[in-house]
Amino acid sequence: MTPATAPGRSAIGARVEISGLTKEYRLGGVTLQVLSDVELSLAPGDMVSVVGASGVGKSTFLQILGTLDLPSRGSIRFDGEELTTMTPERLAVFRNRKIGFVFQFHHLLPEFTALENVMMPALIQRIPKATARRMAGDILGRVGLSKRLTHKPSQLSGVEQQRVALARAMVLEPALLLADENWWPAR
């Protein structure tokens, strides 16, 4: 795909600088600190795994990095742009254009086909329907689902649903791809 096909996407990745990232929750007058002064620097093309025991904040970290949640303190710079000070509206636009998500649970829309589920990010970006359909069909073919385009999630195996979720995350060729645990399709 070319930049003209998917406006606003980056084919080579992004530089991400995380500094002093802290996340706290107040529960019944008690402060629960989930993340404390996280520092991380990612260059375009880097591939990083976040590992640790259950409950240590991995998913919270990914949600914050993906702008689905805000930190209590700290800074996230994405290609030099500070994310923590953006308005919710600006974050939504930024997230659609720059970040792809593969969630632990697929979050596929059950009433839509695999092709339609993968088209959604492009349609949200107002890419013409025919172009979105072509982009979605191409990426579904790349994940081995070219013969399952018209199937709804309930008609797909769990692995096929994971692949649809991966294709949806990749359809706009985001600068940053985030995947929560248990997302990788079994072979």
Q: Is 91 contained in some domain?
A: yes
Whether the Cβ atoms of residue 183 and residue 102 lie closer than 8 Å to each other: yes
Separation CA 141–CA 65 (nearest Å): 29
Q: What is the pLDDT of residues 18-40, one digit of tens each?
A: 999 999 999 889 998 999 999 99
Q: Residue 11 has what pLDDT? A: 43
Separation CA 183–CA 161 (nearest Å): 10
Q: Residue 58 has what pLDDT? A: 85
Q: What is the pLDDT of residues 142-179, one digit of tens each?
A: 999 999 999 999 999 988 998 999 999 889 888 888 88
Strands 81-82, 73-78: pairing is antiparallel
Q: Is 131 contained in some domain?
A: yes
Q: Residue 167 has what pLDDT? A: 93
Q: Residue 181 has what pLDDT? A: 63
21 and 82 together in one domain: yes
Q: Strand, helix or coil at 9?
A: coil
**Which DSSP state fits 64?**
H
Give the distance from CA 181 to its chain's centroid: 13
Strands 73-78, 99-102: pairing is unpaired
Q: Is 159 contained in some domain?
A: yes
**Higher-scoring residue by pLDDT: 14, 72:** 72
Q: Name 19's bridge partners.
A: 75
pTM (2 d.p.): 0.74
pLDDT at residue 4 is higher than 60:
no
Q: Residue 136 has what pLDDT? A: 96
Q: Residue 166 contacts by C-beta under 8 Å, 6 or more apart in sequence?
A: 102, 143, 179, 183, 185
pLDDT at residue 104 is higher than 70:
no
Q: Please give the structure tokens belonging to residue 92.
A: 């939504």
CA separation (Å) from 76 to 83, 88, 119?
A: 6, 15, 29
User: Residue 31, Cβ neighbours under 10 Å: how many?
Assistant: 9
**Which DSSP state fits 105?**
S
86 and 143 together in one domain: no
Whether the Cβ atoms of residue 142 and residue 106 lie closer than 8 Å to each other: no
Q: Residue 105 has what pLDDT? A: 65
80 and 138 together in one domain: no
Q: Is 81 contained in some domain?
A: yes
Q: Which one of 50, 65, 97 terminates a domain?
A: 97
Q: Residue 3 has what pLDDT? A: 31
For the chain, the domain total comes to 2
Confidence of residue 68 (pLDDT cuts 50, 70, 90): confident
Q: Is 172 contained in some domain?
A: yes
Task: Give the N- to C-terminal CA distance of the chain in Å, as an integer.
Answer: 27
Q: Residue 73 has what pLDDT? A: 94
Mean pLDDT of 64-82: 92
Separation CA 96–CA 4 (nearest Å): 16
Confidence of residue 119 (pLDDT cuts 50, 70, 90): very high
